[in-house]
Amino acid sequence: MIWFVTKRFVQAILVLVVVALIAFAMFRYLGDPVNMMVGIETSIEQRDKLREQLGLNDSVVVQFGRFLERAARFEFGISYQHRKAVSALIAQRLPATLELSLVSVILALAVGIPMGVYTALRRDGLLARIFMTVSLIGVSLPTFLIGILLILFFGVILQWLPTFGRGEVVNIGGWTTGLLTPSGLQALILPAITLAIFQMTLVVRLIRAEMLEVLRTDYIKFCRARGLRTRSIHFRHALKNTLVPVITIVGLQLGTVIAFAIITETVFQWPGMGLLFIQAVTTVDIPIMAAYLMLIATFFVIINLIVDMLYFAVDPRLRVQS
Amino acid sequence: MTIKTFLRSACVLLALALILPAATATAQTTLRYAFQGGANSLDPYSLNETFTLGFLGNVYEGLTRRGPDLEIQPALAESWEIVEPTRWRFHLREGVKFHNGNDFTAEDVVFSLERVQAEGSDLTTRVPSDVEIEVVDDHTVDFVLSAPNPILHAEWDTWYIMDKEWAEEHDAVMPTSASGDNESHATFNTNGTGPFRLTDHEPDVRSVMEVNEDWWDEPQHNLDRVVFTPIGSDATRVAALLSGEIDMMYPVPVQDIERVNGNDGTSVMTGPELRTIFLGMDQKRDELLYSDVEGENPFKDVRVRKAMYQAIDIETIKSRIMRGLSEPSALMLSPLMFERSDEFERHPHDPEAAKALLAEAGYPDGFTVGMDCPNDRYVNDEQICQAIVSMLARIGVTVDLNAQPRAQYFAKVLASGGYDTSFYLLGWTPGSFDSHNVLVNLHGCRDDSGKGGPFNLGGYCNEKVDELTAKIGTENDPEKRNDMIAEAFRIIHEEVAHIPLHQQGLAWGVSDNITLEQRSDNQFMYQWVRKD
């Protein structure tokens, strides 16, 4: 086990270096950050000086080396636009993104699992067909469109829910949370649904397919033969065995949800990291982009590691083999 | 707590959240508004950009300020006079206090002058670099110039005066440089003399201001509090206004104007903006970078430039693309900034005449040229370029359009990219609201590094115009000055130095329960907001 974790750790560092390298190779095609940092009337000499001071005239290799050296000390520099330490900026925005992502994954599971089980058990039922059609729409509609439709319906027409932002937040030791105030909870509903819909449909389809397979296996037949209650067969025996692939997918998806919260955050002006990143892209704020990409890569690596370790916990066969 | 009771209380909490109204009513009058971007740094000298300076203009004040019609008014200076052609005397207002309680004195003006000229400041153009300041007494200062300058104070409404003691106390004496390795106190905190004080600021998330009870002037607003939120997505910003969550937002995308007007309780305030959108042509290189014409540069020929001009149907651009929200312009600056602008008229739209001109210049079959265009900088910039491509096709000029985001666009076409363009679309607002700025920056003869006319991307050059520009810069007599400006503009117009298109319009979405003043420089001042 320890060997396994160490091996993963070394791999993780390698992944991070590669991510940083690719990122740096791409930054030069984004445009000139200096023009984004000054007003239109700023003289050419001033612009040149700034470019020199920021080290933008150095070759990509030198810039990359400098970044690595600093990153090893967990220093990510000062944002060009915000003139604020990037680590502090990200720390400020992280809670918003994590809260949104976790709530939406929980939502996706809470709604997706029962729906998946139901559609598997009542394959030809009317409701099951409706669920499947709805989930098809969920998979095929782009997130930003869902977001805008929700805003239009619940925000503008019905005026039940706020259309943007995070509402009032409470600061608990540096972690801002919107879960404790009414306006924070209200503000969370639409973005969480928007972000959850795709995951939810994925879970529904996954559970349904796995469930159908498990229900055909012999031990389920034995269960029936033993005269166990249907409910107990479905939920205690069948569902439990469908969960291994679900854990994998949901775990990996959690990383995706955090990374792709960008679109939802943009549509709802949700003050998370994704919004910070997308603004950094338009203004070529290299320190923010670099730090964000590294952080997301780290998330993926950690989540993968946890998922691998969860297998050990859930599936006894793996423990026997190792 | 068992899971059941936890779930139950969570449900109750959620239900409560849904039942409670979004905004709890208070006796306070709060203005809530949104803009497409935010104020990234609060240091008043770190970015020379309209929104940032306008936002800070509610907190900080300059020696002068501008009224609803952009007229210069006294602010921290009660009055001023030109005692000698090169000596301006400013009488400072007495009894003014900064938000931290410190007194405003001549010392602060001296400090602000040093700071605005220091390295790292993006507003060094506010004051000529060789100005000397002399303190006459605690509330009088003299600015001594090396040459007469009739528009010395034209941009001083956004040169905000900072408190010397406060800056020293917080180690913020130098402007927040973009390249610094350290954060600066002045980036996140403010200490102005203005009508509002900033109480909470989370960059790009939310800023809260409260009224400054000790302001020296009579407030014309009836606000207690202002909450600002940047909302980048156009659709979301419009939705926030329609749903009544905010009282005001700008800009309204032109395609949503009807929707906002059609909604009960909201409307769009439109007006002319100062920015002029124009086309430029490379007239400097002997051969164009992006063209099929070899060995010569067609744009060096005034007939070709005029043909391009006359091929453009500006009224169609106005009605179809700008949906009426633009004012076609014959000059390179807004008519609001030059009183004799009605003497000028656009060269008429005439494709036949344009074709004849091209034939005369030796291009009867036209030619091909590459065009650079931003797609996220000005109102409908890419659509304007597309329309121009098809209009020029009618006279035989084939245009390869390269529309890209502003970060890439500016990196290519500006001096840092080596003026890498043959034909481009650009917008310009003279910061001083004065013709001289337009003549220097867009029409001055320049070398390859940009010296002389840094934003004259096409490299237009006429010695006579340069000569007039120099004189205009130092002429104190308004009559004579306007004569020379008119003469320079006449030359530029006849020689088609650029192809001016229009001044784009302002569009502010406003809820019916507030009234405000819309200034043409697109700065939103809370001072004139009344909310019922």
Residue B27 CB: number of other CB atoms within 10 A?
Answer: 5
User: How high is the pLDDT of residue A255?
Assistant: 83
Question: Strands B225-230 and B326-328: what pairing?
Answer: unpaired
Residue B150 CB: number of other CB atoms within 10 A?
Answer: 18
Over residues B369-386, the mean pLDDT reads: 93
pLDDT band at A37 (very low <50, low <70, confident <90, very high): confident
Over residues A70-92, the mean pLDDT reads: 86
Q: Report yes or no: A70 at the B interface, CB cutoff 8 Å.
A: no
Distance from C-alpha of B60 to C-alpha of B41, rounded to nearest angstrom: 14
B184-203 residues touching A, CB cutoff 8 A: 184, 187-188, 202-203
pLDDT band at B24 (very low <50, low <70, confident <90, very high): very low
Average pLDDT of chain B is 90
Q: Report yes or no: A311 at the B interface, CB cutoff 8 Å.
A: no
Which residues of chain A have a CB within 8 Å of the CB of B411? 31-32, 35
Question: Strands B77-84 and B87-92: what pairing?
Answer: antiparallel
pLDDT: is B22 or B63 the higher one?
B63
User: A279: nearest CA in chain B?
Assistant: B232
**Closest residue to B178, CB basis, from A32, A80, A159:** A80
Q: Report yes or no: A155 at the B interface, CB cutoff 8 Å.
A: yes
Does the global pTM surpass 0.90? no
Average pLDDT of chain A is 86
Q: How many angstroms separate the CA of residue B5 from the nearest CA in chain A?
A: 17
Half-sphere exposure of residue B45: CA atoms within 13 angstroms, side-chain side: 31
Over residues A89-107, the mean pLDDT reads: 92
Region of poorest pLDDT, from B4-8, B74-78, B184-188, B329-333: B4-8
Which residues of chain B have a CB within 8 Å of the CB of A46? 122, 124
User: How high is the pLDDT of residue B4?
Assistant: 55
Residue pLDDT, tens place only, B297-318:
999 999 999 999 999 999 999 9
Share of chain A above pLDDT 70, in %: 97
Q: Report yes or no: B374 at the A interface, CB cutoff 8 Å.
A: no
pLDDT band at B10 (very low <50, low <70, confident <90, very high): low
> Do B455 and B419 contact (CB within 8 A), yes or no?
no
User: How high is the pLDDT of residue B156?
Assistant: 94
The dihedrals phi and psi of A5, each to the nearest 5 degrees, come to -65, -45
User: How high is the pLDDT of residue B25?
Assistant: 45
Q: Which of A27, A40, A80 to mutate to test the interface with B (most CBs of B within 10 A)?
A: A40
Residue pLDDT, tens place only, A292-321:
998 988 888 888 888 777 777 766 676 665
Residue pLDDT, tens place only, B313-346:
999 999 999 988 999 999 999 998 999 999 999 9
User: How high is the pLDDT of residue A267?
Assistant: 92
Q: How many angstroms separate the CA of residue A259 from the nearest CA in chain B?
A: 19
Q: Report yes or no: A266 at the B interface, CB cutoff 8 Å.
A: yes
- Tell if the CB–CB gap between B124 and A282 is shorter than 8 Å: no
- Tell if the CB–CB gap between B415 and A51 is shorter than 8 Å: no
Distance from C-alpha of A126 to C-alpha of B526, rounded to nearest angstrom: 58
Q: How many angstroms separate the CA of residue A146 from the nearest CA in chain B?
A: 13
Q: Measuring CA to CA, which residue among A196, A197, A88, A188 is closest to residue A138? A: A197
Which residues of chain A have a CB within 8 Å of the CB of B415? 44, 47
Asked if residue A250 has pLDDT above 90, the reply is: no
Q: Report yes or no: A256 at the B interface, CB cutoff 8 Å.
A: no
Nearest-5° angle of CA B308, CA B314, CA B319?
150
Distance from C-alpha of B199 to C-alpha of B197, rounded to nearest angstrom: 6
User: How high is the pLDDT of residue A69?
Assistant: 85
Which residues of chain A have a CB within 8 Å of the CB of B451? 44
Over residues A150-154, the mean pLDDT reads: 92
pLDDT band at A1 (very low <50, low <70, confident <90, very high): low
Residue pLDDT, tens place only, B248-291:
999 999 889 999 999 999 999 999 899 999 999 999 999 999 99
User: B437: nearest CA in chain A?
Assistant: A41
Over residues B5-30, the mean pLDDT reads: 55
The dihedrals phi and psi of B271, each to the nearest 5 degrees, come to -175, 170
The dihedrals phi and psi of B97, each to the nearest 5 degrees, come to -120, 145
User: How high is the pLDDT of residue A80?
Assistant: 87
Asked if residue B2 has pLDDT above 70, the reply is: no
Q: Report yes or no: B26 at the A interface, CB cutoff 8 Å.
A: no
Q: Measuring CA to CA, which residue among A145, A77, A315 is closest to residue B179? A: A77
Distance from C-alpha of B495 to C-alpha of B301, rounded to nearest angstrom: 9
User: How high is the pLDDT of residue B376?
Assistant: 86
Asked if residue B9 has pLDDT above 60, the reply is: no
Which residues of chain B have a CB within 8 Å of the CB of A185? 13-14, 17
Half-sphere exposure of residue A120: CA atoms within 13 angstroms, side-chain side: 25
Residue pLDDT, tens place only, A175-213:
888 888 898 999 999 999 999 988 888 888 888 888 888
User: How high is the pLDDT of residue B57?
Assistant: 95
Residue pLDDT, tens place only, B108-140:
999 999 999 988 888 888 898 889 999 999 999
> Do B242 and B261 contact (CB within 8 A), yes or no?
no
- Tell if the CB–CB gap between A78 and B180 is shorter than 8 Å: yes
Residue pLDDT, tens place only, B394-428:
999 999 999 998 888 988 998 888 899 999 999 99
Distance from C-alpha of B413 to C-alpha of B379, rounded to nearest angstrom: 19
User: B20: nearest CA in chain A?
Assistant: A182
User: How high is the pLDDT of residue A67?
Assistant: 85
Which residues of chain B have a CB within 8 Å of the CB of A77? 181
Asked if residue B21 has pLDDT above 50, the reply is: no
Share of chain B above pLDDT 70, in %: 94
What is the value of ipTM here, to two decimals? 0.84
Any idea what DSSP says for residue B291? B
- Tell if the CB–CB gap between A78 and B202 is shorter than 8 Å: no
DSSP of B70-123: --EEESSEEEEEEEETTEEEEEEPTT-B-TTSPBP-HHHHHHHHHHHHSTT-S-
Q: Report yes or no: B428 at the A interface, CB cutoff 8 Å.
A: yes
DSSP of A169-182: -EEETTEEESTTSH
Over residues A29-52, the mean pLDDT reads: 83
Over residues A49-62, the mean pLDDT reads: 84
Over residues A141-167, the mean pLDDT reads: 90
- Tell if the CB–CB gap between A156 and B243 is shorter than 8 Å: yes
Region of poorest pLDDT, from A63-77, B72-86, B171-185: B171-185
Which residues of chain A have a CB within 8 Å of the CB of B16? 182
Q: Report yes or no: A148 at the B interface, CB cutoff 8 Å.
A: yes
**Closest residue to A269, CB basis, from B48, B233, B417:** B233
> Do A170 and A95 contact (CB within 8 A), yes or no?
no
Q: Which of A269, A284, A288 to mutate to test the interface with B (most CBs of B within 10 A)?
A: A269
Q: Report yes or no: A186 at the B interface, CB cutoff 8 Å.
A: yes
Q: Which of A36, A37, A41 to mutate to test the interface with B (most CBs of B within 10 A)?
A: A41
Q: Report yes or no: B206 at the A interface, CB cutoff 8 Å.
A: yes
Which residues of chain A have a CB within 8 Å of the CB of B202? 92, 271
Which residues of chain B have a CB within 8 Å of the CB of A48? 416
**Closest residue to B416, CB basis, from A47, A163, A268:** A47
**Closest residue to A186, CB basis, from B22, B41, B239:** B22
Q: How many angstroms separate the CA of residue A247 from the nearest CA in chain B?
A: 22
- Tell if the CB–CB gap between A163 and B232 is shorter than 8 Å: no
CB pairs under 8 A between A and B: 178
Asked if residue A287 has pLDDT above 70, the reply is: yes
Share of chain B above pLDDT 90, in %: 74
User: A57: nearest CA in chain B?
Assistant: B416
- Tell if the CB–CB gap between B441 and A34 is shorter than 8 Å: no
Residue pLDDT, tens place only, B466-511:
999 999 998 888 899 999 999 999 999 999 999 999 999 899 999 9
Any idea what DSSP says for residue A94? H
